[in-house]
Amino acid sequence: MFNLRRRGNTGHPLIIAHRGSSATAPENTLRAFQEAEKAGADMVELDVRMTRDGVLVVIHDRGLKRIAGIRGRVAECPSSVVQQLDAGKWYGRGFRGERIPLLRDVLRALRPETGLNIEVKTDGDQGRRVVVARALCRLLAEERRGRRILISSFDHLFLRRFHSLCPRIPIGALYMSVRDLAVPPARLCHRCGATTFICSRSQIRKRHLINARTHHLDVIVYGVERRRHLARLRRFGVDAMMTNDPGKLRRFLEEF
């Protein structure tokens, strides 16, 4: 079990910053991660893809158009090109010059006490699953330094591969309603060696919590942005909430 311990004696769920503090800074940049730490996030969530030359970089989209304004896919570009792209100007003038970071650089930049939820994007590419799993295992062996890390993905075949290579690093299974609607969390997680069940605020049901608790699984819910979302999920007893604005969610929690 990943053991998402609640903060102190408050019983509050942990706060995970979705792509960093993406409500206040460009997503998946060092600036967003640093702002998440300042806002009191317990963990940072980020997305990882592999470049053409086998380097793990932090970006959500398959293509570069939305973030960097150029055509092309991350998997088709060498890391030297990806690192030079401006990942901040689309967000606002004050963020010009923010770069798409290497995962290695993020591991080195964040405080050791800040947990990390690494969501891996493979686009269902069978060959890439193996390459990414091996590269990620090597990198974490070199740079983890005792940090609390959770590896997650919608690609459960990738999770199985990664778990076979690095069985001591906790796994989180992301729920996809179209594919997993009839599958209880325990069965979903068992298939890929996961100890954490992850789904959206609109997908979570009380039966999911009951099944997860019965089988000693942690539960993370993403898309928690409003006070009313928080109130419902606290009643459910989820272990962690993922949000774009960790500072705002922290203030909401302090009101309870």
Structural domain count of the chain: 1
Q: What is the predicted pLDDT for the residue at 3?
A: 59
Question: For residue 44, is it within any domain?
Answer: yes
Question: For residue 230, is it within any domain?
Answer: yes
Residue 230 has pLDDT above 50, yes or no: yes
Q: What is the predicted pLDDT for the residue at 231?
A: 86
A 10 A CB-CB count for 85 gives 18
Q: Where are the beta strands (DSSP E) in 97-238?
A: 115-120, 149-153, 171-174, 196-200, 218-222
Residue 207 CA to residue 104 CA, distance in Å, equals 38
Q: What is the predicted pLDDT for the residue at 163?
A: 97
Q: Assign 1 a pLDDT band (cuts: 50, 70, 90).
A: very low
Question: For residue 162, is it within any domain?
Answer: yes
> Which one, of 132, 124, 121, lies nearest residue 165 by Cα?
132
181-214: pLDDT as tens digits: 989 999 999 999 999 999 999 999 999 999 999 9
Please state, in angstroms and as integers, the Cα–Cα distance from residue 100 to each residue in 2, 47, 80, 92, 110, following that order: 28, 11, 11, 16, 15
Question: Span 119-148, mean pLDDT?
Answer: 94
A 10 A CB-CB count for 231 gives 13
Q: What is the predicted pLDDT for the residue at 256?
A: 75
The CATH number for 174's domain is: 3.20.20.190
Question: For residue 92, is it within any domain?
Answer: no
91-123: pLDDT as tens digits: 999 999 999 999 999 999 999 999 999 999 999
Q: What is the predicted pLDDT for the residue at 20?
A: 98
Q: What is the predicted pLDDT for the residue at 235?
A: 86
Residue 127 has pLDDT above 80, yes or no: yes
Question: For residue 46, is it within any domain?
Answer: yes
Question: For residue 250, is it within any domain?
Answer: yes
Q: Assign 229 a pLDDT band (cuts: 50, 70, 90).
A: confident
- For 243, the domain range is 14-61+103-255
Q: What is the predicted pLDDT for the residue at 10?
A: 53
Question: For residue 198, is it within any domain?
Answer: yes
On the 0-12 / 13-18 / 19+ scale of CB atoms within 10 A, 184 is: middle
132-141: pLDDT as tens digits: 999 999 999 9
How much of the chain, in percent, has pLDDT values that exceed 90?
Answer: 86
Question: For residue 237, is it within any domain?
Answer: yes
Q: What is the predicted pLDDT for the residue at 9?
A: 43
Distance of CA 203 to the CA centre of its chain: 17
Q: Do residues 240 and 220 touch, judged by C-beta distance below 8 A?
A: yes
Residue type at 98?
E
Give the CA angle between residues 82, 113, 196 to the nearest 5°.
80
Q: What is the predicted pLDDT for the residue at 234?
A: 87
| Average pLDDT of every residue of the chain | 94
